């Protein structure tokens, strides 16, 4: 388990790896019975490994309950990992004490989904954005104020609005405040957890364009978690597809969308509606039967076997190997080639 | 196949709905007129606050009144005006001749009643069937929406079903009395894409078999592209464009529709830069005095802020409410 070299599955390029995740598991205990003993576990993340290269955007896609948000939270140690390792610039975050982790936090930040819930309604925008500066730097009040105003103009907000409260802003503007807070300490790596899911279509493009600009100008690396496969195609360099706690396919974005090898990826892509009636008429759809199994009781063998259109006997008994079938194209399916 | 020569089942004229709140009057719907033809699927597209749900809810007086108030308008359904008839009469229409499917099946199903009870309720209320007949009808409906082992499932409670299954139950309830019209308000928004694809396939199939007219309210231009015959685009409580589905996507005529389509990433195409629409959706507190999209519109000129544009037909069946002629790049006469 700790032998990282032997299990290094994904980095066959010479690009610098900023984050690597190895055999990561996160199980949430289920308590039951008279003494609230643990009677089972929700296997939210059940053994995933991948690398993120410096300066890239890795898209992490999947449906609700597949474990994509948990992955993001555990990577930043907002939740403890049950098993496995997370290396951030070579340092294993799972082994760090709280005070050591605090030193890493300025460089690894998060943007949350719901801009209503993640901003304290009783704090002004200046104090929300200033909080990380107060905690992690020795800036004086005047210097801090200057930085806050600079950050507000970077994210496209009026610096003179620094003393307003979150409720005075629209959803898109609130997400910009969340972004300003995340970039306040010049991080290297940001986990974006569904940052546009709560926004209207015309506002989504504004926020995505801002994230892409910031990536260029500040040299950021993103883990972009989303269920929106069209937006992932637009924003990501490589994409990992999750299903029931496992990554089933990982490759660069063009290959995934043009030549998906895992039957789940194919079904997922074919289910996304395209805003073009002509294209919709000729598209081939793979409609999956049934629903997502419970992550507290995942099916044996391949986790997708209960809904897979090409499943055979061995899929329900043998766990498919996570293997590289082409350069930088990883799939967990017995039949992918 | 052509939708235009079918008879009209619902005709709405000049609908205005306001909400009187502590902060002032919200002008949610500001003069909406449209027709729904027998058997067609009409997509209604718009962002939050565009008035798409309030319009449809107003027709059946499903908005809370007060604070809501239907200020003006007519809704002709058969020989009745839905906005004028008595509560008793309206109750016969709701769930009987017009079925509803809501966004979140968990909040619109009653958690303490079995599925069977909830499907038989409208059947007993609106048809002559007795209890036994209603139960048989309920099983038949569940079978129709693709729920396996229907007879046993009638005894299940909503929490025992997944989100996709619950939405199928909602569809079964909406279909229970063989309505002429079904209004579906964001029916797949709360669902994952693979489940959404299942529900869309069911609705397509049922519509072909039963010939029910469907109003499908959504913010997702992708869903509408593969489903609708005709589309209404709403913004700021008004219809800004109305067109057959192919014309709308091929040659959008309103700058808002153009902007909306340009701001969408495409799954089937390599990414170009997304063109975002600058600014924010309009505040609805003031009565609109011009085009509500004007502050965000690149083509806006003085007339746009002083006069409210009416829908005008620019091609057969294709109407737009805009003073700027996008095709010829000049103001409309």
Taking one residue from A and the other from B, the number of pairs with CB-CB distance under 8 angstroms is: 131
Convert the pLDDT of each residue in B305-328 to its tens digit: 999 999 999 999 999 999 999 888
* A3 Cβ neighbours under 8 A, 6+ residues apart: none
Q: pLDDT value at position B1? A: 44
Q: pLDDT value at position A11? A: 47
Could you tell me which chain A residue has the CA closest to the CA of B163? A291
- The CA distances from residue A73 to A191, B39, B51, in Å, are 8, 48, 37
A98-107 per-residue burial string, b: 16 or more CB within 10 A, e: under 16: eeebeebbbb
C-alpha–C-alpha distance, residues A110 and A188, integer Å: 11
Q: Is A199 on the interface with B (CB under 8 A)?
A: no
Question: For chain B (length 333 residues), average pLDDT per consecutive 10?
Answer: 70 93 90 92 91 91 89 90 89 87 82 91 87 90 85 88 86 88 88 86 86 92 91 94 94 93 83 80 85 91 92 93 90 84
Q: Give which of A44, A9, A3 is closest to A27, Cα–Cα.
A: A44
Bridge partners, residue B11, by sequence: B35, B76
Q: How far is C-alpha A293 from the geometric centre of its chain's CA atoms?
A: 22
C-alpha–C-alpha distance, residues B180 and B254, integer Å: 31
Q: Give which of B268, B324, B266 is closest to B294, Cα–Cα.
A: B324
Q: pLDDT value at position A9? A: 47
Write phi, then psi, for A233 (nearest 5 degrees). -60, -35
In chain B, the DSSP E strands lie at 8-21, 24-37, 41-45, 68-77, 80-81, 98-101, 181-185, 213-218, 230-235, 238-244, 312-315, 318-320, 324-325, 330-331
C-alpha–C-alpha distance, residues B51 and B48, integer Å: 8
In B47-206, the DSSP E strands lie at 68-77, 80-81, 98-101, 181-185
Q: What is the DSSP letter of B19?
A: E
C-alpha–C-alpha distance, residues B67 and B116, integer Å: 34
Contacts of A205 in chain B (CB under 8 A): 263-264, 274-277
Contacts of A269 in chain B (CB under 8 A): 267
Residue A143: both structure tokens together: 């210097």
Convert the pLDDT of each residue in B235-270 to its tens digit: 999 999 999 999 999 999 999 999 999 888 888 777
- The CA distances from residue A205 to A96, A174, B29, B77, in Å, are 38, 15, 26, 40
Contacts of B47 in chain A (CB under 8 A): 200-202
Question: For chain A (length 337 residues), average pLDDT per consecutive 10?
Answer: 42 76 93 82 92 95 90 93 93 92 93 84 93 92 93 92 90 91 94 89 88 94 93 93 95 92 93 88 83 87 92 92 91 90
Q: Is A63 on the interface with B (CB under 8 A)?
A: yes
- Residue A173, sorted as left (phi over 0), alpha (psi -120 to 50) or beta, turns out to be alpha
- Cα angle for residues B108, B110, B114 (degrees, 5° grid): 130
Q: pLDDT value at position B285? A: 87
Q: What is the DSSP letter of B94?
A: B
Q: What is the mean pLDDT of chain A?
A: 89
Query: Which residue, among A277, A279, A281, would best test binding to B if mutated, counting the most B CBs under 10 Å from its CB?
Result: A277
Q: pLDDT value at position B271? A: 63
Across the interface, which of B201, B245, B274 has its CB nearest the CB of A234? Answer: B274
Relative to beta strand A221-226, strand A189-193 is parallel
Q: pLDDT value at position B5? A: 64
Residue A123: both structure tokens together: 């704090």
Query: Do A274 and B243 form a contact (C-beta atoms < 8 A)?
Result: no
* A106 Cβ neighbours under 8 A, 6+ residues apart: A132, A136, A185, A186, A187
- Residue A211, sorted as left (phi over 0), alpha (psi -120 to 50) or beta, turns out to be alpha
CB contact under 8 A, A63 and B194: yes
Distance to chain A for B35, nearest Cα, Å = 22
- Within 13 Å and on the Cβ side, how many CA atoms surround B260? 27
Residues of B with CB under 8 A from a CB of A: 47-48, 162, 164-165, 192-198, 200-201, 219-223, 225-226, 245-246, 249-250, 259-261, 263-268, 270-271, 273-278, 280-281
How many CB atoms are closer than 10 A to CB A299?
15
Q: What is the DSSP letter of B218?
A: E
C-alpha–C-alpha distance, residues A332 and B42, integer Å: 42
Bridge partners, residue B44, by sequence: B217, B232
Q: pLDDT value at position B287? A: 83
E strand or H helix at A44: strand A37-53
């Amino acid at each position: 388990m700790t032998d990282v070299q032997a299990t290094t599955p994904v980095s066959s390029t010479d690009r610098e790896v900023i984050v690597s995740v190895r055999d990561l598991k996160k199980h949430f205990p289920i308590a039951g019975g008279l003494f609230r003993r643990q009677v089972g576990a929700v296997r939210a993340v059940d053994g995933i490994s991948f690398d993120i290269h410096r300066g890239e955007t890795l898209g992490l896609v999947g449906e609700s309950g597949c474990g994509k948000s948990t992955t993001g939270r555990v990577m930043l140690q907002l939740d403890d990992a049950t098993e496995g390792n997370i290396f951030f610039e070579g340092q294993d975050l799972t082994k760090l004490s709280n005070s050591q982790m605090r030193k890493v936090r300025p460089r690894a930040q998060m943007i949350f989904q719901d801009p209503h819930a993640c901003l304290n309604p009783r704090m002004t925008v200046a104090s929300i954005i200033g909080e990380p500066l107060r905690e992690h730097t020795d800036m004086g009040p005047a210097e801090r104020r200057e930085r806050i105003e600079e950050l507000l103009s970077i994210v496209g907000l009026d610096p003179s609005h620094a003393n307003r409260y979150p409720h005075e802003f629209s959803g898109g503007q609130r997400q910009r405040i969340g972004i300003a807070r995340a970039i306040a300490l010049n991080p290297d790596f940001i986990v974006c957890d569904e940052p546009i899911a709560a926004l209207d279509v015309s506002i989504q493009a504004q926020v995505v364009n801002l994230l892409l600009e910031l990536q260029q100008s500040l040299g950021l690396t993103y883990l972009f978690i989303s269920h929106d496969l069209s937006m992932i195609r637009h924003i990501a360099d490589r994409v990992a597809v999750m299903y029931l706690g496992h990554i089933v396919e990982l490759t660069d974005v063009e290959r995934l969308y043009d030549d998906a090898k895992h039957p789940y990826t194919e079904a997922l892509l074919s289910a996304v509606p395209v805003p073009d009636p002509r294209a919709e008429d000729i598209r081939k759809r793979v409609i999956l039967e049934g629903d997502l199994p419970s992550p507290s009781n995942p099916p044996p063998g391949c986790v997708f076997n209960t809904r897979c259109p090409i499943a055979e006997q061995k899929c329900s008994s043998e766990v498919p190997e996570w293997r590289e079938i082409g350069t930088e194209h990883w799939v967990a399916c017995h039949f992918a080639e | 196949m052509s939708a235009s020569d079918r008879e009209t089942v619902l005709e709405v004229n000049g609908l205005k709905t306001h909400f009187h709140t502590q902060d002032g009057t919200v002008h949610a719907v500001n003069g909406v007129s449209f027709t729904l033809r027998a058997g067609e699927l009409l997509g209604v597209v718009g962002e939050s606050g565009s008035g798409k749900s309030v319009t449809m809810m107003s027709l059946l007086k499903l908005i809370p009144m007060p604070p809501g108030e239907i200020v003006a308008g007519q809704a002709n359904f058969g020989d009745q005006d839905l906005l004028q008839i008595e509560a008793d009469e309206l109750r016969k229409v709701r769930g009987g001749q017009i079925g509803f499917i809501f966004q979140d099946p968990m909040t619109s199903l009653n958690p303490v009643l079995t599925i069977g009870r909830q499907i038989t309720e409208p059947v007993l209320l609106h048809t002559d069937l007795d209890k036994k007949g209603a139960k048989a009808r309920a099983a038949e409906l569940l079978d129709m929406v693709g729920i396996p082992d229907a007879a046993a499932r009638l005894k299940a409670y909503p929490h025992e079903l997944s989100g996709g299954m619950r939405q199928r139950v909602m569809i079964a309830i909406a279909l229970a009395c063989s309505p002429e019209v079904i209004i579906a308000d964001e029916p797949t928004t709360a669902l994952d894409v693979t489940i959404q694809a299942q529900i869309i396939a069911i609705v397509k199939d049922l519509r072909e078999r039963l010939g029910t007219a469907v109003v499908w309210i959504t913010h997702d231009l992708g869903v509408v592209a593969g489903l609708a015959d005709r589309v209404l685009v709403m913004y700021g409580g008004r219809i800004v464009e109305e067109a057959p589905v192919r014309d709308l996507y091929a040659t959008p005529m309103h700058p808002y529709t153009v902007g909306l389509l340009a701001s969408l990433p495409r799954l089937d195409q390599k990414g170009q830069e997304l063109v975002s629409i600058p600014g924010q959706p309009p505040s609805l507190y003031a009565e609109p005095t011009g085009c509500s999209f004007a502050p965000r519109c690149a083509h806006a000129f003085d007339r746009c802020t002083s006069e409210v544009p009416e829908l005008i037909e620019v091609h057969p069946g294709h109407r737009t409410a805009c003073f700027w002629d996008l095709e010829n790049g000049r103001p409309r006469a």
